[in-house]
Amino acid sequence: MGSIDDIDRRILAELQRDAGKSLESLGEVVGLSRNACWRRIKAMEDSGLIRSRVTLLDPVQLNLGLTVFMQIRTNAHAPDWLNAFSKATMGMPEILGVYRMTGDLDYLIRARVADMADYDRLYQALIRKVPLSDVSASFVMEEIKETTELPVLRRI
Amino acid sequence: MGSIDDIDRRILAELQRDAGKSLESLGEVVGLSRNACWRRIKAMEDSGLIRSRVTLLDPVQLNLGLTVFMQIRTNAHAPDWLNAFSKATMGMPEILGVYRMTGDLDYLIRARVADMADYDRLYQALIRKVPLSDVSASFVMEEIKETTELPVLRRI
DNA sequence: GGTGAAAACTAGTCGGC
DNA sequence: GCCGACTAGTTTTCACC
């Protein structure tokens, strides 16, 4: 189960770009019958390699044009704190990513908001739920790249 | 085109979680006929609000278990440099996000690699393509949250 | 893995309200 | 803007090579 062959990788490469592709066109691209493709996809769904098929939306039209990264330093290392922090960030839909970083004292949050005022609302809402000693925010001026595609083709 | 009504938002909320949902079940959830749902989705695709439907994969099974954030300081503000930087990062599939941050001297890169050695390869490959004066890397120890779902339901 | 061919479901288009 | 019906296409599951 550890190894994924080249045909599977090419199927995944296609599906990552467009989940709505028909089995027929997929088969043509990878050089397999529709049926063989379907069996491989099913197997990869069952193994969990294929996690889900989702729809991506335009953040600007949703009035979420500002991406912000929040860097959080804490001196509270108790599991209670992490638990509360996890729960709080999970429940805030503007927060898209929460990462515990190396060093064990830094957390990074990736969030999308409308503007600075909206960020302040998010910040206030967060510190009302979890005690945070040190929070600094960096705002994204330009999104040069943003993708959900993972590198699946075998690298040299 | 500026406003999105509540039914559209509920459709988007469902599609963000599962793009493979049938029009029938979607209609049941939002209280509309399959046909009305279809027309709304089509309109949102045409307006660009719905960008694409993609497949999400398991990074761990693809041997991409390590997420790294690279913070880059540069003193080269020439448009040539940014152009080369953009082109280089665009062509590197391990790099999932590239952001120009506030201050105009910081760039942030979000990437997925197998391990530390793989990160070093990425780093070496990047600096071979673009001159980078100051690069620091932070590694993700724990992914507490990671989602592609944007907040579509109207906030209070 | 390939083929062919059913059954079930879905998308996309129509006229009508 | 919504609904029901219809058609055409697709997925999904067979049995068999």
- Residue B76, pLDDT > 80, answer no
A61 within 8 A of A68, measured Cβ to Cβ? no
Q: Name the residue ranges covered by the structural domains of chain B.
A: 6-47, 66-139
> Which of A20, A50, A99 lies nearest to residue B57, judging by beta carbons?
A50
Q: Which residues of A touch B69 (CB under 8 A)?
A: 99, 101, 108
Residue B99 has pLDDT above 80, yes or no: yes
pLDDT for the residue B2: 62
Chain C bases near protein Cβ (<7 Å): 1-5, 9-14
- Could you tell me which CATH number the domain at B6-47 has? 1.10.10.10
Structure tokens at B154: 């109207």
- Cβ of residue B123 closer than 8 Å to a chain A Cβ: no
Output the tens digit of pLDDT for each of chain A's 156 residues. 568 999 999 999 999 999 999 998 999 999 999 999 999 999 999 999 999 999 999 999 999 999 999 999 987 778 899 999 999 999 999 999 999 999 877 999 999 999 999 999 999 999 999 989 899 999 999 999 999 999 999 765
Q: Which residues contact B150 (CB under 8 A, 6 or more apart)?
A: A57, A59, A62, A64, A93, A96, A112, B16
Count of pairs with CB atoms under 8 A, one residue in A, one in B:
218
Reported as a pLDDT band with limits 50, 70 and 90, residue B154 is confident
- Across the interface, whether the CB atoms of B102 and A147 are under 8 A apart is answered no
Answer CATH for B66-139 from 3.60.70.12, 2.40.100.10, 3.40.50.2300, 3.30.70.920: 3.30.70.920
pTM score over 0.75: yes
| Whole-number Å distance between alpha carbons of A151 and A148 | 10
Same fold across A6-47 and A66-139 = no
